[in-house]
Each structure stands twice: as C-alpha cells, then as structure tokens.
Amino acid sequence: MTKVVENAFLSYGSTEAPVKVEVFLNLACPYCATFFEIADEVLAPYIKNDQVQYVIKHYDKPREMLLYGTLANLFFDYNEPERIYEIMKDLFKKQSEWSESDSHSIKKMLTEQYGLKEEPDTIDISLKITAEAIKRQVKMVPTVFVNEKEFQFPVELDAAQLKDEVEKALA
C-alpha cells in the first residue's frame, strides 16, 4: 500500500510510485532555485518510469526575503500543475531579475508575461501547506523529504545525494 502524500496539489508522477519526494520551497529563495533545477534533472527519469511521485509544496513562509515568492504563488492556478511547473522553472531561472523588484512590478510581470491573475483559491492551499509545514516542523526552505526522511538543502543534499537517496528508497 503506497502512502498518500498530504497536500499534493502540485504532484508530478504516479501517486502509486514507491518513492515520494516532497519539497517545501519558495520562489524567492535562491537555494530553492538551485534545488528545483537539480530535482528537475535528477527526478525526471524516475517520474517518467512511475518510480517517483514528486510533490512541490510552495511554502509561503512569513519571512521578508520570501514575500515576493508568496506573492507569485498567489497567482498560480493549482488546477494546472504542468503549467505551474513550467512557470516555476522560468521564474526560478529569472529569479535575480524579479525577486528584488517591487510588488506592483511583480504583479504586472505575472499578468503580462504569463497571463496569470490572482487566484483566490490559492490562499486556502497556502494555508494548508503552511499548517503541514508547522506540523512537520519545517523551519527552512528548501526542506526535502524522501519517503519521510528529511533533508536540509544544500547542507545535506546535492544532486548526487538526491539520486542516491532515490536509489536507496527503490532498493
């Protein structure tokens, strides 16, 4: 019986996959941008082969440097996880360009460049993920769980270690 991942609003891969990789991240966090890129590369073949379910949990952590990530998250329509993934990929790539901007400019960019609008339902999703982060004692972003085993990126997990942890979990 495979474990059901809580708050799997942005879920990639089979829900039946034996390995669950969950990440609490924020779009304004530079370490999250690095982890996202690593996970995109390392996890893709496992997701494709139904070996990994990858769940992204945008943590709207109340910290000044993360507020613009929270603002961007509020524009995501969680009914379109594939589109959100591509937008996140782009926003992480261009993070230095927008993350030190101002809220008006960020809203304008999200609307004009990505055709997004504020999504009222996202607030409820954000609150559920925040409640889960508190329950699981997630103190920083990114925090990664591989089948419940917790890692603090970048201290405890790089690309090789992520691949190694997935391989160990599959063994």
| Chain segment 125-166, per-residue pLDDT in tens | 999 999 999 999 999 999 999 999 999 877 778 889 999 999
At residue 2 the predicted structure's pLDDT band, cuts being 50, 70 and 90, is: low
Q: Which residues contact 49 (CB under 8 A, 6 or more apart)?
A: none
State percent of the chain over pLDDT 70.
Answer: 99
Which DSSP symbol is given to 20?
Answer: E
Query: What residue ranges define each of the domains in the chain, with the CATH number in brackets?
Result: 10-170 (3.40.30.10)
| Chain segment 10-42, per-residue pLDDT in tens | 999 999 999 999 999 999 999 999 999 999 999
pTM: 0.95
Please provide residue 66's backbone torsions phi and psi, each rounded to the nearest 5 degrees: -100, -5
Q: What per-residue confidence (pLDDT) applies to 1?
A: 57
Say how many C-beta atoms besides its own lie within 10 A of residue 62's C-beta: 9
- pLDDT higher than 80, residue 107: yes
